[in-house]
Structures are given as C-alpha cells and as structure tokens.
Amino acid sequence: MTILSPASVGRRVLIVDDSAAYRQVLTRALERVDGLTVLGAVGTLALARARIERGDVDAITLDIALRGESGLDLLQWLRQNHPAVLVVLVSSGANGAGAQALLLGAALVAKPSGPDAEQQLRSALERELTAGLRYGARQRNTQTIRSNPGLAAPMGRSLAGPARRELIAIGASTGGPPVLLKLLQSLPAAFEVPLVIVQHMPASHVGYFVELLAQQSGRNVLLAKHGALLEPSTTYVAGDAKHLRIARQRGRLVMQQDDGPAEHHCKPAVDPLFRSVAATCGAAVVGVITTGMGSDGALGALALRAAGAPVVVQDAASSVVWGMPGAAVAAHAVDAIVPGFALASTIDAWTTGWKSFDEESRS
C-alpha cells in the first residue's frame, strides 16, 4: 500500500471521543486548521485501532474517559505498535490518568468553556498538531550537529568539565514528561544535586504529574513552594501557574514564585528560572532543555552560558518537537546536543558533587 507523505496531504488526524456531539465539535475545529486533514471520528477503542492499522494516521485527538474504556489503553497500544503517531489528549479536567498520559508522551489540551470555546479549542489543537510540520524540516537539517550517545561536541568553546554544582535547571514542553522521567530514572541513586524543573502544562495537572514522577522514578520529587529551601537529592517542579525563580538567603538557595506576566505565552516559563539561576549560581549549575514547542529557554540559556554554566539540549531525532532545543542552538547558547536518554549521563559527567551550604559559607 502506498502512503502519501504528510507534506503532500497535511497531517492526517483521527478523532477518538465517545460523545457524538463533541466529535462534531472537534471535526469543525480541525477542519478549519490549514495543514490538517480529518480522516474520521470514532467512539470506541476497537474502531480506533482498526482505523489506525490502515497506516495513514499521523495524529489522533483522544478522550481519556470513554464509555467503559480508558484512552490510556489506546495510548499504551500506540506506543508499542505505532510510536510515531502523535497523540493529543483533549481533557475536561485534572486527573491522574491525564498525568499518566503525559508520561506516555501525549500532548494535552484542556476542553475550553464559554462563548468562544470552539475558537479556543481550534487554536490549542492547531498549536499541538501542526508543530511537527513546522519543525520537521529543521529536525532533518540538524543531523550534521547531532551527537552520538554520550557527550556531544562543544558548540563554540571547550567542552564543559566536571565541577561541583548547586543545582540542575531544566526546561521542557511538548513531549517532555517521558524524557524527564527517563532522566530521573537514569541519574545515579547517589546523585545529590537538587533539580528544578519547568514543564509547560496546565496547572491543574502538575500535582498529579509530580506524584507520578516520584512513584515511577523512585526519587524525591516535590511541587515547588514559595520560600522553601532547596534540599539535596530532591527534584522540584514549578507549578501554581507562577514563574519560579531561585534566590539566595543566608547562603542557602531558596525558591521564589512570581505572578508576573506570562513569557512565551507560558507561566511558569523556562526563561525566568534560567535567568535567576544564572544570576544566583553562576557557573555552579547545569542548564538542560528537552523537547518542546517554541523558543522558551533560549535567552535563559544565553544567560547561563554568559555566567559560565554549561547547557545541554535534547537532539532533534529524539525530540517530539525540536523547537526549544533548536532555538537554544540557533542562539549559540549550547555546549552539547545529545539524545534524550543521554541527558542524565551528560549531567552526571559535568557534576562532581553538590556544593553544600557549609562549603558555600566558607567560600
């Protein structure tokens, strides 16, 4: 069977939702997006599997709660049998299943309400479903700079060397949750340096996401709280729909939440975290940018590098969307480009230990 390329017919989307009325809403919204072709709309997992097996589905919109079925079952089946199919979860509320879907690599769009709900839905789906088309050519063109597993070639200066670090600052967006989970699982058990993460996602899902990261990684993962001190061997995730910044009080690193304007249409955003870390910690940090849409983190990565801190980004081939990492590369703000599975080993290679409070007080 001959399958046309996405470039020739646009990204081909299947709608999976048990509500006939909402299938119509999704169909109307998607048919108005340039570059998308709606292949059909189905209400059961069996019909979805049969349609996907025809081999021409590029993406699906998925309702997590179907009558007597769970969209998670279809998502797990896709990851095993059709991993290239993009999944956008269209969710009506926060729940653990939604967070689990994020860890399985799905994107997330909240069902909007109000008089302009359909327009909001169309805009959100357009952002998620057309990202791969926008960045596909860039991904193909980055293979000359992509590294082999392990440390990558330096970008414009000598490769960062091992040093004592105060924290690891990480930015992630579309496709980021499973990469973050793999990173936490791959770090040595004795790795003490605190990690601080900004992951773009609706605030209502962050709490569930934090719980699942902790359960599945075996590490201490907490929701970031204003005024809390950073502790060793702990990972903190920004939430509460507020920017997260790092400051120093009496020699200790402390988290500060900021309810200022969104950056890159996001709050929390990666750039405010990176800027604050560069100002507070200088070179005693490693910056990390994983798969994600847009350019959030690129300017912050420049600030980190100017302060002497190394920055590593996920490569194009292993990214769902090479937007954020690609923007940092384009800004010449990157020391290494590695596959997602090699981010942990790169961080570990650049880190000899945690710069403790006592050491900071004596310096």
Residue 311 and residue 338 in one domain: yes
Residue 116 and residue 194 in one domain: no
In the chain, which stretches have pLDDT less than 50? 1-8, 136-156, 158, 360-363
Residue 313 and residue 175 in one domain: yes
Residue 349 and residue 235 in one domain: yes
Among the candidates 129, 164, 194, a domain finishes at: 129
Q: Is residue 155 part of a domain?
A: yes
Residue 94 and residue 233 in one domain: no
Paired tokens of 43: 């209400």
Q: Is residue 134 part of a domain?
A: no
Nearby residues of 215 by Cβ (< 8 Å), 6 or more positions away: none
Residue 156 and residue 51 in one domain: no
pLDDT of residue 138: 41
DSSP string, 146-180: PPPSSPPPPSSSPPPPPEEESEEEEEE-TTHHHHH
Residue 63 and residue 176 in one domain: no
Pairwise CA distance, residues 212 & 133, whole Å: 31
pLDDT of residue 354: 87
What's the number of domains the chain is made of?
A: 2
pLDDT tens digits, one per residue of 247-289: 999 999 999 999 999 999 899 999 999 999 999 999 999 999 9
Residue 114 and residue 166 in one domain: no
Peptide bond into 268 cis (omega under 30): yes
Catalytic residue IDs: 173, 200, 296
Pairwise CA distance, residues 105 & 102, whole Å: 5
Question: What predicted TM-score, i.e. pTM, was given to this entire model?
Answer: 0.86
Nearby residues of 89 by Cβ (< 8 Å), 6 or more positions away: 61, 62, 64, 71, 75, 98, 101, 102, 106, 107, 108, 109
Residue 241 and residue 272 in one domain: yes
Q: Is residue 136 part of a domain?
A: no
Rg of the chain over Cα atoms, rounded to whole angstroms, equals: 21
**Domain limits at 52?**
6-129
Q: Is residue 125 part of a domain?
A: yes
Pairwise CA distance, residues 223 & 327, whole Å: 28
Nearby residues of 22 by Cβ (< 8 Å), 6 or more positions away: 63
Residue 195 and residue 332 in one domain: yes
Among the candidates 80, 101, 129, a domain finishes at: 129
Q: Is residue 1 part of a domain?
A: no
Among the candidates 107, 129, 151, a domain finishes at: 129
Residue 338 and residue 219 in one domain: yes
pLDDT tens digits, one per residue of 188-211: 999 999 999 999 998 888 999 999
Q: Is residue 135 part of a domain?
A: no
Residue 152 and residue 283 in one domain: yes
